Amino acid sequence: MSARAAGLTRLAFWVLLTLPPASPAAPRDLPDFAGLVRQHGPEVVNVSTIAAAKRDRAPESGDDFSDVPPDALRGAPDAGDGASLGSGFIISPNGYLLTCAHVVEGAAEIVVRLADRREYRARLVGSDRRSDVALLKIDAENLRAVTIGDPVRLRVGDWVLAIGAPFGFDSSATSGIVSAKGRSLPSENYVSFLQTDVAINPGNSGGPLFNLKGEVVGINSQIYSRTGAFMGVSFAIPIDIAMRIVEQLKSGGAVHRGWLGVSLQEVTHGLAAAYGLDRPRGALIADILPGGPAARSDLKAGDIVLEYEGRAIGLSSELPPLVGLTAPGTRARFKLFRRNEGVTEVRVNVGELREEPATKVSLPVRRSDAGHRLGLVLSELSAVQRKQYDIASGVVVEDVLDGAGREAGLRIGDVIAEVDGRAVTGLSNFYRLVGQTKSAHPTVLRVRRGSSFVYLALNPP
């Protein structure tokens, strides 16, 4: 090696020695869950019950989704004949507590154990199966109560924390994020659930869901599971809904819900285009039940509800919970989009929901890209079918081939009653009405399906 090369090597080595060491990667700013648990753990309780008769409520093996809450799923801890375990939390210093209705359903005795191991026998003030909320009372004073938060301010992706007793393990904390808001589950249209990925297992039911401020934003209630244990999807009752239920349970022990008497469906892209809406939004009134509050109002089948009492409706599933929380007798304000008329407002006297719900939400119809013709085999309505479907006129879909009919979502057995708001009196009349459509927008079909109506958007050839 030449003297010059040796000198360059020594210089490079000296430079490396004098460089400052690489600084370690800065730690990410993560929530202080330890502080939240330390501060708010004493506000959470264990709830144990003894039922008059033990019931096995486990779902059949292989169920993909069950509205059966976590404590009822296979693997729940058993403390003896008819015993079950759950969680709850204190909402007032004088002994009022919240838990899930399914935790205390059928209980002959309810025992509440505080974080400091004190035990009290609890009285059931009232429960509401529809919302899965139950209010308990124990004879105690100066208790640590939770702070109630605002779930409306939650964003998808926000951190949340659950404290409860999964499988009977007291004061267990699990964390995650808000996965979605406004979830409507198959078992219940009157609660708009929060979806999270917080680990919720048998025993967590009735426990609180905290935000990072230490405020309760929900009650952990249900899970999606194929195994009976946590699989990454859990649901919580928004605390604002629960507290409105509490007010009614305190005052009378029963809950009175608002009711419209309508059948709803989602607004698809095709229907939005047919109506001239800028985007799919709102709740489409597919049918109005005879004798209900809506039937006695200016609401019409085919109206799209854009706002209810000033609150925007993005999905059809958002409307039933808002109506349900409205006091019966309220004259509620609806902002509607009415085809060929545009935006209008009507007021409706909200009725009271009885034992059987009459407001339901239909899922969007699946669509196919196949074909460019109608592809329908139709027949005239017989006298028997008119009586069966309780409809004066229309045409029956006997078969659906590749074409525009299949794309629109028509099914075998559907009865096409209207084309763009005009009654279908027979086969020739149906094809004439479809052929007369000259608008750039799709044609809107009103279809009798089963016991209710749905609206479909048809792209004619």
- Give the model confidence (pLDDT) of 281-291 as tens digits: 999 999 898 88
Q: Which of 205, 225, 263, 316 is catalytic?
A: 205
CA–CA separation, 79 vs 113, rounded Å? 14
Helix, strand or coil, per DSSP, at residue 181: strand
Q: Which residue has the tokens 């004798």?
A: 291
SS3 content of the chain, % helix, strand, coil (to 5): 20, 35, 45
Residue 282 Ramachandran class (φ > 0 left, ψ -120 to 50 alpha, else beta): left
pTM of the model: 0.66
Give catalytic status of residue 102 as yes or no.
yes
In the structure, what pLDDT confidence band is assigned to residue 5 with cuts at 50, 70 and 90?
low
- pLDDT higher than threshold 70 for residue 357: no
Q: What CATH class does 31-250 carry?
A: mainly beta
Using a 10 angstrom Cβ sphere, with 0-12 exposed, 13-18 middle and 19 or more buried, the burial of residue 200 is buried
Q: What CATH class does 258-362 carry?
A: mainly beta
Give domain limits for the chain.
Answer: 31-250, 258-362, 376-458
Predicted confidence at residue 190, as pLDDT, reads 76
∠ CA(299), CA(304), CA(307), 5° rounding? 90
Superfamily in which the 376-458 domain is placed by CATH: PDZ domain (2.30.42.10)
Question: Residues 267, 456: contact at Cβ < 8 Å?
Answer: no
Q: Which of 71, 132, 303, 414 is catalytic?
A: 132
Q: What is the mean pLDDT of residues 427-447?
A: 81
- pLDDT higher than threshold 70 for residue 162: yes
Q: What is the mean pLDDT of residues 173-183?
A: 93
Predicted confidence at residue 280, as pLDDT, reads 94
Question: Residues 455, 416: contact at Cβ < 8 Å?
Answer: no
Q: Which residue has the higher pLDDT, 81 or 377?
A: 377
Q: Could you tell me which residues come within 8 angstroms of residue 104 by beta carbon, excluding any fewer than 6 positions away?
A: 47, 49, 86, 110, 124, 127, 134, 136
Upper half-sphere CA count for residue 187 (Cβ side, 13 Å) = 15
- Could you tell me the maximum CA-CA distance found in the chain, to the nearest angstrom? 111
Domains 31-250 and 376-458 in one fold:
no
Question: Residues 352, 256: contact at Cβ < 8 Å?
Answer: yes
Q: Which residue has the tokens 């708009």?
A: 192
- pLDDT higher than threshold 80 for residue 75: no
Q: What is the mean pLDDT of residues 32-44?
A: 94
Residue type, 453: F
Predicted confidence at residue 226, as pLDDT, reads 72
Question: Residues 236, 178: contact at Cβ < 8 Å?
Answer: no
- pLDDT higher than threshold 60 for residue 118: yes
- Extract the runs of DSSP E, i.e. beta strands, from 274-330: 283-288, 304-308, 311-312
What mean pLDDT value characterizes the chain? 81
Q: Which of 40, 66, 84, 102 is catalytic?
A: 102
Give catalytic status of residue 132 as yes or no.
yes
CA–CA separation, 375 vs 218, rounded Å? 49
Q: What is the mean pLDDT of residues 198-212?
A: 94
Q: Which residue has the higher pLDDT, 49 or 26?
A: 49
CA–CA separation, 40 vs 31, rounded Å? 15
- pLDDT higher than threshold 60 for residue 4: no
Mark out the alpha helices in 326-382 (DSSP H runs). none
